[in-house]
Structures are given as C-alpha cells and as structure tokens.
A and B are shown apart, each in its own frame.
Chain A
C-alpha cells in the first residue's frame, strides 16, 4: 500500500503544490485581464493575484518579454523548491519533467548555431529548467555523432540519443528528426517509469503521457505533408506509448493528407471530438488549441486523485498554459490587436 506511507515522504510537497495550484488564475481573472488597455494595467491586475509584486522592481515601460521572463522565473523558483525538498522516487519524477525542457534547449541551440546566431543570445532564450552544464558548448558539434560524444554523453538524455547517432551533417531536417526521436524515446521512458511506479501515479500519468504521445504522432504526421520525410522514417518517429499504438500509428503512417489523419482520429472517441471542433476558418479554434484544451482538462482531472505524483506534472503544465495565456493577452494588448484576445485557454 504505497498510499499509507505516501504522506510521510511526499505529503508536504503534495500539499505545497496543491496550494500553488490554487494560485492559478481563474476565469474571473482572465475576464479582468482582457479588459486591460495597456501592459501597465495588466501588471496592476496581476499584482492582485498570486503573482504578487513580481513586476514591482521592473522599470517602465514594461514589455511582454519581461513579463514572460518574470513568470517563467517564478515557476522555476517554485519548481526548484520542490526539487530541492523531495525524496526518491519523486526526485527522479521531477527530473523527468525537466528532460523535455533539455530536449527543447538542445534543439534551440543547434538550430541557432546552424543559423550563425551568437551563443549568448541563444542561451538567454533557453528554458532555465532544462539547462545543464555542457549546454553552452553545444556549438562545437557539427554532426549528431559529435553532439553525442562531446556533449550529450554525460547528460541524462544520452540513452535517448542512441538512435540518432550518425555522421551526417546537421541540417534543418536532421534536427527535426533528432528532436522527434529524442522526444519519442523520452516519452516512452517516462511512460515506463510511471508505469513501474504503479498505483495512482501510473493511472494518472500514463493517461497524460499517452495523450502527449498521441498528440505528437498527429502533429508529426500533419507537419510532414509536403516534406521529403518518407513514410517509413515518419513511422519511426511516433512515440509508441499512446492510445494510438499499434493500430492507429500504422494507419497514421499511411496517411497522405489531413483528411486521412482525421479519419484515423475517427476511431478514437476523445480525438474525434478534437478534430471535429477544430477548423481553420476565422472564429474556429485551431487543432493546436483543441489539443491544449484537452491537455488542460486532463491536468485538472489529475488533481482529483490523491497520493500520486501526477499533480506535480500537471502543475507545471497548467502553469505553462497560464504563461502562454498571459503572453497571448499581453501581446494582443501591446499590439492593440484585440480581435483575437479571447483565444486564450481558460484553466479554472
């Protein structure tokens, strides 16, 4: 019975994260935010929420990127606090959460160096949760093999990289493949880790990660149309831990246009809904937004379960969504383009 001893090891942090969750902005807050005329108004309203005085020491004029940085900083501080106080296996679990940020950072850096951007400029764009020691030296690598041997071999991502080692030069296509292969290996590994933990954690997290895997499979397929990625290569990129595995994935790998993808989704009740609600006409929600909405729903549900780690994952995801929402509203306000200001994704 892991539930019996759960609170001994993780009770404090679970309580803490549930408390943090109460600070996630509510619908009423968003209604106030979209009425803002300037970023200063936005700041004034955010001051009355759990964000408190996080912008108090920023000189005017305020920019959206400053808000973004500060919000991210707050999340990072909270996350680091959790990470510093946790015990195994929660520690490993939280580390797994950071791996996805590491992947993003690596891809960002490689793409940046490919375009001859100075490394310092790129570093400041990296997510602090995914930073690691060797990160900044990443631009010495010109092939995936070098990347592995020189940089990644010491990081926890090394085992995920085994499949992409090659002597080909890094180019746009290559990088996308690396990103997706890393993600696939990461998701599958995380999925298995959660499954081995068992109990309520497995129940909640496997659902969340299965959704994440399926979302990636759909997005990869849709994005691959019109590129030189072959069907076989594409199939290799699908994470095999979602609900689509195995039948859905094999059908997806044969898909040639958006309608065929939609037909695959028809077989799955929850995905059918998403595809049905999405459209490209003005006023419709994009498929991406529908996926985000579904994710938010899953994350909210995970707070209904107790004695499980899913709440930590969910909290980070919800907070990310909140950042995206505020940035969206902030951008709309800053650019005086209010037509689409309501397309944020409400959380509570």
Chain B
C-alpha cells in the first residue's frame, strides 16, 4: 500500500485476452476496479466498433426496464433494493434476460391497452351520466321559458314584429340540439367561435362537472364541463358539429323526452357498475405483474448495465491478426499487479478457456494518471485539493498536510467554543449515522455537499473548540476556569460600578499567568480589542510565514525526488533565503518582543511595524528605539541579501541551461527567460502579498468575535431586562431568537466564509509554493462507479 504523500506508481500494461475469455476477464477487472483502459480505436465511430450490436441489445433491454420502472413508479409499488451485487451474467444468459423483458413488456403493454380502452369506455359513460343529469335542468328551464313565450298574458304589444309573424305562420318553434362534454378551459374560446361562426343563431348552455375525470391516455385529472347547444336547421347543425369536433368536445346522443332520458340514465348506471368491476380486475392483474417485476428490477438493471459496460470496454480493444485474441492497453497501479493477475486468472477459469490471459508491462513516455488511495476521512480533503488541480504524477500531494492545517486555519478564524461545539455535534451526528444516511440516497445538492464533507466539518468543529478555548470565547462570553490572574482591585462589586474599565496590565497583573488561553478579565475590559488585535495579528504572521516556509520546504522534496538539482540551487535556496530575510526575521522579532518586554516596559517597547518599515528604507531616526545594538547594520545586511536573491532566482537557471545546451541542441532562450521571469516575479511579490494575505486570519477572527458579541448584547441581553411574571416568557422568546440567529448567521454563514478563506489560503498561499497540479485523474473501469452513476455515461 502506498502512502498519501505521493500518488501511486502506475504502469502501462498490455493485455492479451483470448476472445472467448475476454468477456469474463473484463468482468472480473470491473469488479476489481483497478485498471483504466485506453481507447485503442479512437478513429472509429461508435457504430463501427466490434460489439455495437451487443450494446444495442443492452440499450433495448434498458429501455424495456425503464418502461417497467416507469409503470412501477406510476403505481407507487416499492422497488426492492436488497443491495446485493450480482455478477455480470455470461453472454449466453443475455438471451434469457431479453426474453424475460420482452415478455414482461408485452404483457404490460397489453394490460395497458386493455385498461386504456376500458377507461375510455368508463369515461364516456361517466360523461354521458353527467350529461343526462345536467341537461335535465336545462330542459326544465327551457320548458319554463317556452311557456313564458306563449304566455297569453304577456300582451301583444310587447311582441316584436317577427315574433308575431312566426306565430301567425303557425309553426311551432322546432329547435334541434346537441349535447356534449368539453374541457373547461376551452369554454370561452368555444363560445366565441360558436357565436362568430353561427352569427349568434345558436344558444349555448353549460354547467361544470364538479368531479375531475381521468384522461385515459395520459392518466391526468382533467376538469370538464357539460354543454348543450340549441339551434335551428340542418346547416347550423353540421356547422356546430364541426366546431365541436375542432375543440375536441365529445358529443353524446341525448333523448328528447324526460322519460327516455331517465331510462337511459338507469341503463348507463348499471353499465358503469359493471365496468367498475372489470376495471378493478384489470387493475389487480396489472398490480400483480408489476409487484413481481419490482422484486427483481434493481438486480436486472445492475446486470444489464454491467453487460453494457463490458461491451463498451471490449470496444476499446484491438483484434490481433489471427482474430483469436484481443489486445488491450491499460494503466494500473504497480502495487496491484498481483491482484490484477489473479482477477485475470479467475476470468480465464470461469470462461473455461485453456489458454491463460497474458499481462505485459510496457515502457512508455506518456504521463501516467494520478491515483491516490484514500479512505473516507482523507477523501474529503483530497477533493479540496483536486478541485484546484489534480496533482502531477508522483508530485507531493498536499492533502495529508491539509488534513490538519485546513481545519486549524479555519479554526483560527472561527474560534469560539460554543459555535465549534454546534458544528462538531452536527458533523458527529452525520459521522455516526453515516451508513443509514448514505442508504437514504438523498438527492439534494446542499445536503450532499455537507454530507460529503462531514469529516472536514468534524475536524473544523473540534479545532474551533480548541482555538475558542485559547481565545476564551463561548458565545462571546469568557470562562474563568483557572482563576483570574489580576489584582485584587477588580472585585465583582468594583467592576459593576466601573463602566469604562481600561485594564492596565502593568500593576494589576499578579505575576503568574493564567494557565491556558486568554485571561477572562479581558472580557470586561474596554481595551480588550486593542489587546487581542495585537495578539492575533502577530499570530497570523507567524502562522502564515511558517506555512509558506513549509511549502517551500516541500518544493525541495519535489526537486530531490524528480532529481532536479539545478532547481534546488537556483530556486529553492534563494527562495528560502528571501523568505527568511524578509519575514522569518520579523517572526523572530515578534517572539523576542513577547518574551523580553514585560508589562512595565511596554510603554517604551519599540514598534515592530515602524521597525520593519525603517528596515527597508535604511532609515533609522536618532530617537528611534533599537531592540539590540547593531540592529541597523544587521538589518541592512538582510535586505541586501534578500535583494541579491532576486537576480539569483531570475538569471542563474536560464544561463546555466543555455550553457548546457551549447552544443547545438534546440534551445529557446527567450522562452526560458520569460518563464523564469514570471516565476521569480510571482514568488517575490507573492511572498509579500501572501504574508499580508495571512492577516485575514486576524481580520476574520475579529469579525467573528465582534459579531457574536453584538448578537449577545443587542439580543440576548434584552431577555434579562424584564421583571415580573413576564420575564421568563420573554427570556424564552428572546433566547430562541438569539439561538436561531447564532446558528444561521454565526455558525452557517460565518462558517462558510471562514471555510472559503481557509480554502484560499491553502490553494493560493500554501500550494503555490510547491504544487503544480497538472496531472489527470486515474479513472479505473469499475462497476461500482458505473452503477452509482446510473450508467448514464456513454
């Protein structure tokens, strides 16, 4: 087993597989998931390859399975997922599978078409039932109106001229009508069209059907209305019928007299009842078929996808001249060659072939893929690194260092025991219930992001509790665990009266420090921020410079591993000197100032900031305080060394290369020079800007502490202000508000922001010192991967 520090050693292999054994061998390799096949026929179209017919058959099977799955889902039958992983079936079993699916599909289709016909019949009958019921009221009204029209008392003078005429002609008003059912949303357009096409000579009545009806084809619920149209004459009749057809209204015969209608209605009711029983029987049959299919469908899917994957892989192979043997090329980890050999042996045995499969190592100039063996804890951190760029083959992998440094830098910005605890507990819950949660397969992007990073969050929470302990912050309050080490002047009584306490360490300090972390007395002092700022700023610089120095040191390991001594002399050494002269020295001064200046000397301690500026300007005013004698001289020396490192980095390597290439090898000096110039400028400016960039550790930490303090004073403290019986209720309300805001703003939002900043510090400030990230990922042929991704890849 290799380590995580460098990616696995890979080797290119050639495989000779007997044609009859190739299928089983590839199947075994798929279960193993350790080889990445190369496509040896990149110029061939998908449909010109050897096993295209088999793939097509698999696709056809998949289509049938998808059809069955859709039907199963439609009926809401649970699909049994036993989690077992059947082997890829032998090629000859494919025919059995095909026959099974074919039979099921046909059966399903038959059942569907039967039930569709029945449902259509049922729908028609229900519609007819509604028509008979609703039209009754229409006719009743019409009857009434008709009577009103012939009412003798209506007075002749109110009758129009035409009305008089029609009466005189003595013909009774003979109206025809059609009745039918139409989709409710089409009614307005339907009405308008009727009016226009028949010039207002028809009379439409409509009533809504309350119950939604099922469309037999799509299975959707649709709302419909009953309508009845009265008109006069045959021409209008045909026209009305055409319009009805155009709007997909279904027309039904409706008898004219009430008794006939009643009779029909009774007939319809009995037929509906008959149909209901038949429908129930077809439904049961369908259910039985589907339940039987649901038991096996997952296993079938796995089998078909495995077959398909095997043939896809076989399509990448070459046939040798004798056509008896398939040739494949693949990348595989050197350490696993034995396991691969064994898998091949198993495959050959299973196929019953007598000729063994042969695995040959090949030498190649191609860059091998990068393969890191991760476990579930390291995988999350590896993903963070890979998101920036996959490591070049065998270069140092930052992931193992990231496992500690990432949560730590996060925690520096997020330091609060309370918030850290919430984060830690949430991650712990995900880690403990890992198996159950994984089995649920929740397909939510946000959730899967959090779940995928559960170990990162766990560590981030734990580290935040630690830094919170050092900062002595729990939801912005301090703990007094070891006894406050300040003068007895500050008693609770005296603190209550002193609203503007400025803590002066000089004089109030007892002499023995608070055991671990920040003395809790600072939490009541007004100058707390001034104190913590100084502390956190300096810590940030120290952490930053050490991480960058570590990064540069890793570049040394890379140079040594790849045997590039020139890079060590021309890049690594000047880089270390440059970084040390500028910022390593500053860190030493910080430690010196912490250890050598006591609180009573604080008043005349030299300022490091001014000191650093003076150092680069070579300017030491007379009254400036020096830390040690000879400081100007030594600092001047450091700056000169650092400046000298720049041409060292810039010029030495290109000229050395040109010297080496003096015997006429092709060599582009300008190209090398520009390249080196870019790297030099990047490094030198980078050192300065990256150091400044690490100050974000302080800035975010300050922001986080202040925000949580604001939340406490502006919200939670209100809860303590009430008196009397209302106090407990208000306290509860205020508490919930405060707790919600804490989780949403301080834990989630601030956590995300600190996460991004920590990520940036690793990608840019740390990895730029040594990491190339120009490799490509090892993507082995693995059933596990193919099945997890639903076989959607081609």
- Listed in ascending order, the chain A residues whose CB lies under 8 Å from chain B are 32, 35-37, 40-41, 44-45, 47-48, 56-60, 119, 133-140, 146, 149-151, 153-154
B159: interface (CB < 8 Å):
no
* Docked complex Cα distance between A134 and B190 (Å): 8
* Docked complex Cα distance between A37 and B48 (Å): 10
B274: interface (CB < 8 Å):
no
Q: Is the interface of A mostly helix, strand, loop or mixed?
A: helix
B186 CB contact (under 8 Å) in A45, A133, A139 = A133
Chain B residues with Cβ below 8 Å from A47 are 46, 794
Interface pair A140/B63, CB less than 8 Å apart:
no
* Docked complex Cα distance between A316 and B196 (Å): 35
A-B contact pairs, 10 of them (CB 8 A): A35-B45, A37-B47, A44-B46, A44-B47, A44-B52, A133-B186, A134-B189, A137-B197, A149-B197, A154-B192
* Docked complex Cα distance between A281 and B18 (Å): 55
When C-beta atoms are compared, the residue in chain A nearest to B240 turns out to be A140
Chain B residues with Cβ below 8 Å from A45 are 45-47
- Minimum distance in angstroms from B301 CB to a CB of chain A: 14
User: Which residues of chain B from 55 to 87 have a CB within 8 Å of any chain A CB?
Assistant: 56, 59-60, 62-63, 66-67
* Docked complex Cα distance between A85 and B48 (Å): 42
Q: 6 closest A-B pairs (Cβ-Cβ)?
A: A137-B246, A41-B47, A150-B197, A136-B246, A140-B242, A44-B47
B197 CB contact (under 8 Å) in A48, A60, A135, A140 = A140
A137 CB contact (under 8 Å) in B56, B63, B243, B794 = B243
Interface pair A140/B46, CB less than 8 Å apart:
no
Chain B residues with Cβ below 8 Å from A137 are 193, 197, 242-243, 245-247
Interface pair B66/A150, CB less than 8 Å apart:
no
B63 CB contact (under 8 Å) in A36, A37, A56, A151 = A56
Residue among A35, A36, A134, A146 with the highest chain B CB neighbour number at 10 A? A134
Chain B residues with Cβ below 8 Å from A41 are 47, 52
When C-beta atoms are compared, the residue in chain A nearest to B197 turns out to be A150
Interface pair B63/A57, CB less than 8 Å apart:
yes
Question: Given A57-B63, A134-B189, A146-B197, are A48 and B246 neighbors across the interface (CB < 8 Å)?
Answer: no
Known contacts A44-B46, A57-B67, A154-B189; 12 further A-B pairs (Cβ under 8 A): A35-B45, A35-B48, A40-B47, A57-B63, A136-B247, A137-B242, A137-B243, A139-B242, A140-B197, A140-B242, A149-B197, A150-B193
Q: Is the interface of B mostly helix, strand, loop or mixed?
A: helix
Q: What is the total number of residues of chain B having a CB less than 8 Å from a CB of chain A?
A: 26
- Minimum distance in angstroms from A51 CB to a CB of chain B: 12
Chain B residues with Cβ below 8 Å from A154 are 189, 192
When C-beta atoms are compared, the residue in chain A nearest to B47 turns out to be A41
Interface pair B47/A150, CB less than 8 Å apart:
no
Interface pair A153/B186, CB less than 8 Å apart:
no
Chain A residues with Cβ below 8 Å from B62 are 56
Interface pair A140/B189, CB less than 8 Å apart:
no
B285: interface (CB < 8 Å):
no
B288: interface (CB < 8 Å):
no
Chain A residues with Cβ below 8 Å from B560 are none
* Docked complex Cα distance between A44 and B56 (Å): 8
* Docked complex Cα distance between A35 and B247 (Å): 46
B248: interface (CB < 8 Å):
yes
Chain B residues with Cβ below 8 Å from A37 are 47
Chain B residues with Cβ below 8 Å from A135 are 246
Residue among A48, A133, A153 with the highest chain B CB neighbour number at 10 A? A133
B103: interface (CB < 8 Å):
no
- Minimum distance in angstroms from A158 CB to a CB of chain B: 12
* Docked complex Cα distance between A102 and B794 (Å): 39
- Minimum distance in angstroms from B284 CB to a CB of chain A: 27
- Minimum distance in angstroms from A17 CB to a CB of chain B: 25
User: Which residues of chain B from 217 to 259 have a CB within 8 Å of any chain A CB?
Assistant: 239, 242-243, 245-248
* Docked complex Cα distance between A47 and B45 (Å): 12
Instruction: Produce 1/0 per residue, B319-353, CB < 8 A to A.
Output: 00000000000000000000000000000000000
When C-beta atoms are compared, the residue in chain A nearest to B66 turns out to be A57
